[in-house]
Chain A
Amino acid sequence: MNKYCLLIFCLLLAPISHAQVLIVNPDNIDTDLSLNTVRSIFAMRTHQWSDGSPIHVFVLEDNDNLHSDFCKEILKVFPYQLRRLWDKQIFSGTGVAPTTVKSIEEMRERVANTKGAIGYIRKEQLTDTIKQIGMPL
């Protein structure tokens, strides 16, 4: 019976528990961000944390499954929308693109070692070199 209770409990939790998590550099002081703030950070429109220090955004390649899942489930946009925003900015001189990393290992390493960094990862890939921050639900 206990097993079933646990299963039902897990199923109830499942819809609001994402497999992807936002990660930041451990020195970061902003730990809870609204959905629209996270969207504008990944759209490369918000450039500074609350203390005025620069934000450094890391993403995986456009066709990476984790990138796609992160866009759809956390940001609630599609990867092509972000790509279009970035392209519009870099090819009109009005902004810049995020730094693209090739692998999850590189994502973890760059976020851990770059001041003001933000990125994403799967929950089970978290390590203590990076900090998970509040998830917009």
Chain B
Amino acid sequence: MKRVIALLLFCSITTVSFADNDWSDKLQIHGFASQAFVYTTDNNFYGKSDSGSVAFTELGINGSFQLSPRLRLAGQVLSRHAGAFDHGSPRIDYALIDTNLISTSKGRVGVYLGRIKNPIGLYNETRDVAHTRQGILNAQTIYFDKVRELVMSSDGIHLYGEYFLPNGSLLIQTGMGYPLPNKNVEYAYMGKDWAGNISGDELGIFGRLIYEHDGGRWIYSLTGTRMTLDFNHGVKDAIPFPAGAGLSSGDIDIDYTVLSAQYNGEKWQFTTEVAFEHTSYNDIGAAFDSSGFDSLGYYGQLDYKFTPQWQAFIRYEEFQLNIDDWNGKKAAKKNIATSQFLADFGIQQTPSPAYANYAKIWAIGGHWDIQNDLKFRAEYQIAEGLATLSPRENDLNLGDKYWNMFAISLSYRF
């Protein structure tokens, strides 16, 4: 990242001297601030939510500077407080140079270089900006906050093209970059914080194809990523069984593809997205499935606008960790056998239940735009299963199968 920043600085120094004096036209500053209150009947989501949590705060500020007609710099700093996931330390969310290579009335082609938001699904790029979300939370069965850092942004280069057709637009983006996984990703993919670390030392690839028909009345999108995470074991992790877990260094391959469709009417809006994920663990150890498995997440959401300011929605979402083991029954049996096996060695481990392998959620909610830049939201979710929860905030072996969530938020943007 240091190299990217150095490059950005170099470009800004060398090019600003050619620019006009009219900075105000070339510089745009925007930002957002959002605070939510989350209460869950059982289990934890963003802090100790079973007794009510305000540990969900998002602050961001960004700037875009047009250096020349073909060259633009953009960057955003983000501070996020989100339960056990994030404690508010500011981070560079994106910092890029946008070079426009071709621009005509028929379309444009360009390159982003730097830290780039990954185009996954319809909402990933702006998932931290409350105003752009579909509710207080995006559908967690696709936009898992527990692995947010895995898909959020990456350091690399993307090529983009936009083609303006007679009654629609085709948007293409493809690129590669180093993912930025952190401890949250380790918890989500490896169950706990190991002595070793997960790192993103291998280039991931990203792609997006969107067709917007009739000015965006209908939007169809195919997005995806393929990435490999490296796990470097710590000394403690390598202690052989039964005294330790006997892990070795290896990697995790992840393929993630999202299909999306959306209808945008004056009163009604309908959105559906389906995500296919293939995960395989290589050389890490017997506890991690090297043959790989396929997961499926999807949702359908119907929004109704009573007025442009008042809006309500209903959504059903579901996630299945292993499509060959719907509702996790086989996994539960295996976990009971594993616990019995471990008990022979004097290791007590509560078997993880079947419902840790899926999530089925009904969500209803609404918002009121108090002003153009100020939004109040309220939402209620009825959930079965634990797959959207993180082991960083819950002991998933002991989690409650049925749980509900109530949340409100107030969000400002400029």
Q: Give how many B residues have a beta carbon under 8 Å from the other chain's beta carbons.
A: 50
Residue of B nearest to A68 (CB): B308
What are the interface flags for B232-276 relative to A under an 8 Å C-beta threshold, 1 for contact and 0 otherwise? 000000000000000000000000000000001110000000000
B264 contacts A96, C-beta separation under 8 Å: no
B225 to chain A, nearest CB (A): 16
Contact status of A90 and B25, CB under 8 A, knowing A46-B164, A54-B69, A78-B264: no
What are the interface flags for B209-242 relative to A under an 8 Å C-beta threshold, 1 for contact and 0 otherwise? 0000011110000000000000000000000000
A96 contacts B28, C-beta separation under 8 Å: yes
- State which of B42-50, B165-173, B328-336 sits at the interface with chain A: B165-173
B105 contacts A90, C-beta separation under 8 Å: no
A88 contacts B132, C-beta separation under 8 Å: yes
A123 within 8 A of B: no
B96 within 8 A of A: yes
Q: Looking at B62, B74, B104, B265, which has the most chain A CB atoms within 10 Å of its CB?
A: B74
A101 to chain B, nearest CB (A): 14
Contact status of A81 and B264, CB under 8 A, knowing A37-B105, A37-B164, A63-B308: yes
- Chain A neighbourhood of B60, CB < 8 A: 91
Query: Bound state CA distance, A93 and B4, in angstroms?
Result: 15
Query: Bound state CA distance, A85 and B169, in angstroms?
Result: 13
A46 contacts B108, C-beta separation under 8 Å: yes
What are the interface flags for A32-70 relative to B under an 8 Å C-beta threshold, 1 for contact and 0 otherwise? 001011011000011110101010100001110000100
B32 within 8 A of A: yes
A91 contacts B108, C-beta separation under 8 Å: no
Q: Give how many A residues have a beta carbon under 8 Å from the other chain's beta carbons.
A: 38
Contact status of A92 and B125, CB under 8 A, knowing A46-B108, A84-B132: yes
Cross-interface CB contact of B169 among A40, A48, A72, cutoff 8 Å:
A40
B25 contacts A91, C-beta separation under 8 Å: no
A93 contacts B69, C-beta separation under 8 Å: no
B372 within 8 A of A: yes
A21 within 8 A of B: no
Q: Using a CB-CB cutoff of 8 Å, which residues 367-385 of chain B contact chain A?
A: 372
B215 contacts A77, C-beta separation under 8 Å: yes
Residue of B nearest to A84 (CB): B132
- Chain A neighbourhood of B108, CB < 8 A: 45-47
Contact status of A62 and B94, CB under 8 A, knowing A87-B129, A93-B62: no
- Chain B neighbourhood of A85, CB < 8 A: 216
B131 within 8 A of A: yes
- Chain A neighbourhood of B305, CB < 8 A: 80
- Chain A neighbourhood of B91, CB < 8 A: none
B339 within 8 A of A: no
Contact status of A91 and B162, CB under 8 A, knowing A76-B215, A84-B132: no
Query: Bound state CA distance, A117 and B100, in angstroms?
Result: 20
Chain B contact residues, CB within 8 Å of chain A: 25, 28, 30, 32, 60, 62, 64, 66, 69, 72, 74-76, 94-96, 98, 100, 103-105, 108, 112, 116-117, 125-126, 129, 131-132, 160, 162, 164-169, 214-217, 264-266, 305, 308-309, 372, 413
Interchain Cβ contacts under 8 Å between A and B, 16 examples: A40-B169, A46-B164, A48-B104, A61-B372, A62-B308, A77-B215, A80-B264, A80-B308, A87-B413, A90-B28, A91-B62, A91-B126, A91-B129, A93-B94, A93-B116, A94-B125
Chain A contact residues, CB within 8 Å of chain B: 34, 36-37, 39-40, 45-48, 50, 52, 54, 56, 61-63, 68, 72, 75-81, 84-85, 87-88, 90-97, 114
Q: A50-B105, A63-B308, A87-B413 are in contact. List 15 more A-B contacts (CB 8 A).
A: A36-B166, A37-B105, A46-B103, A47-B100, A48-B104, A61-B372, A75-B215, A80-B264, A80-B305, A81-B264, A90-B28, A91-B30, A93-B64, A93-B76, A114-B25
